[in-house]
A = this chain, B = another copy of it.
Amino acid sequence: MARRRPVSNLLALAVLTVVVQRPMHPYEMASVLRSRGKDQDMPIKWGSLYTVVRNLEKHGLLEAVESGRQGARPERTVYRITDAGRREADDWTRELLREPRREPSAFEAGLSVMAGLGPDEVAPLLRRRLELLEEQIEAGRAALEEERAELPRLFLVESEYALAMRRAQAGWVRSLLAELDGGTFPGLAEWQAHHRTGEMSPDVADLANRGRPAD
């Protein structure tokens, strides 16, 4: 299961789900995708579009149906989805919904190297983050409310999810900040000291040597 996708870029899934409706040429796929704001839901880079479409064709998930040229325009190749393409899209969607993958966010990476800065510096950074998050949450809430007027719920779940996750993140940051500001974060004094003086308490020094070959 979860075998390697012939075209692993998620843009390929977006392309498949849009071309399933009717045959299209690449640029039209892009404009449809853009108008639906799919570039918000997936890490889409438009520079990859033509490569991805070509690869989809190579693997038999799309096929060219028409290479009509209009006037002096360079010919536009229109693509249609194949049965294999439909299967791939459904299978991929199933996998994405079924399997919780561990995908560490940039913030997680940041937290994991946070100790390199001192606590006095970390707190203001997190405060700033919280402000920005709150702005984003408010903007997302407002956008969602507007969209609810014109779109069925079915096409808004991903935005609802994104909003819920931001709220959860904001909550978590708030609680960490409270510990930092209130001085209740365990080991805060040691962290402070280590950062000022460069000295480590013996247990932390042990840690720093883990993984060192026994040479």
> Which A residues form the contact surface with B (CB < 8 A)?
10, 13-14, 17, 20-21, 28, 31-36, 38, 40-43, 89-90, 93-117, 121-122, 125-126, 128-129, 132-133, 136, 151-155, 157-158, 161-162, 164-166, 168-169, 172, 176, 185-187, 190-191, 203-204, 207-208, 210-213
For the complex formed by this chain, how many copies does it contain in all? 2
Q: Known interface pairs A90-B116, A191-B154. Does A213 touch B28 (Cβ–Cβ under 8 Å)?
A: yes
Query: For the complex, what is the distance from the CA of A212 to the CA of B18, rounded to whole Å?
Result: 11
Interface of A is mostly: helix
Query: For the complex, what is the distance from the CA of A191 to the CA of B111, rounded to whole Å?
Result: 41
Partner of A17, one of B94, B113, B191: B113
Q: With CB as the reference atom, state the residue of chain B lying closest to A115.
A: B154
A90, A112, A212: which has the most chain B beta carbons within 10 Å? Answer: A112
Q: Known interface pairs A31-B213, A169-B100. Does A89 touch B116 (Cβ–Cβ under 8 Å)?
A: yes
Minimum distance in angstroms from A184 CB to a CB of chain B: 11
Partner of A106, one of B32, B96, B166: B96
In the complex the two chains form, is A33's CB within 8 Å of B99's CB?
no
